[in-house]
């Protein structure tokens, strides 16, 4: 112990001062590194939170834009339903696209936004059901007009065939009164049938045009 004290006492004061300075400098570096580490952790946490907010805002913005686009499409589709042939068109296709976009918006939007979007989707679904009911008379008339067209075309084709047969019969220069009279009776029948179908088609067309007038049919936007 005495030897150790002698060794320590033999160390010059300049060495002790240098050693003390080094210890103080090391302590300062350690404290500075610790403070920097804490600040870095806080900064990284803040940056992560800001990036998360930015990603959420971007996702919401893109989803809102897609929803607005789908809403415009379904509004245009509903506005064109009176002219659409529902036997060939899918009446729910446009609405399904809007409902899918609305569902995505409800997932990423604020609770208040999600509630409003849900109410809007329900309103458009209800509107489509009302329109389908209101459009039934027009769709029935459309089907009647199509049937008249088809039967009229068949009658006209038969008229053309009979006229051709009668023309061939005249070209033979041989009298066939019985055959000619039979063809004439059949021709008169098909001409009368074609006239009836044409009159019925015109009547259905006028009624269809009447139902298309704004005073007879109107589309109300959902509240």
According to the 3-state scheme, what is the secondary structure of 147-172?
A: HHHHHHHHHHHHHHHHHHHHHHHHHC
Higher-confidence residue: 63 or 42?
63
Q: What pLDDT, on the 0 to 100 scale, is given for residue 124?
A: 85
CA distance 74 to 212: 20
CA distance 102 to 16: 76
Listed range (49-53, 141-145, 165-169) with the worst mean pLDDT: 49-53
Using CA atoms, how far residue 54 sits from 58, 62, 178, in Å, is 6, 12, 92
Residue 134 in tokens: 């209101």
Q: Would you tell me how many other CB atoms lie within 10 Å of the CB of residue 196? A: 14
Average pLDDT over residues 2-12: 57
Counting Cα atoms < 13 Å in the Cβ hemisphere of 51 gives 6
């Amino acid at each position: 112990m005495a030897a150790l004290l002698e060794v320590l006492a033999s160390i010059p004061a300049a060495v002790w001062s240098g050693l003390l300075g080094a210890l103080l400098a090391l302590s300062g570096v350690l404290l500075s590194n610790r403070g920097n580490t804490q600040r870095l952790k806080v900064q990284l946490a803040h940056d992560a939170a800001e990036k998360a907010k930015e990603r959420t805002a971007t996702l919401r913005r893109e989803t809102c834009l897609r929803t607005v686009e789908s809403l415009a499409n379904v509004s245009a589709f509903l506005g064109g339903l009176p002219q659409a042939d529902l036997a060939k068109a899918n009446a729910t296709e446009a609405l399904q696209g809007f409902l899918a976009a609305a569902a995505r918006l409800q997932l990423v939007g604020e609770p208040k936004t999600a509630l409003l979007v849900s109410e809007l989707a329900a309103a458009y679904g209800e509107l489509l059901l009302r329109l389908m009911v209101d459009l039934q008379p027009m769709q029935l008339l459309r089907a009647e007009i199509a049937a008249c067209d088809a039967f009229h075309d068949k009658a006209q084709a038969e008229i053309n065939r009979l006229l051709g047969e009668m023309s061939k019969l005249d070209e033979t220069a041989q009298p066939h009164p019985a055959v000619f009279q039979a063809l004439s009776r059949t021709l008169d029948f098909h001409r009368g049938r074609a006239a009836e179908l044409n009159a019925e088609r015109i009547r259905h067309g006028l009624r269809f045009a009447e139902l298309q007038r704004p005073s007879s049919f109107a589309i109300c936007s959902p509240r």
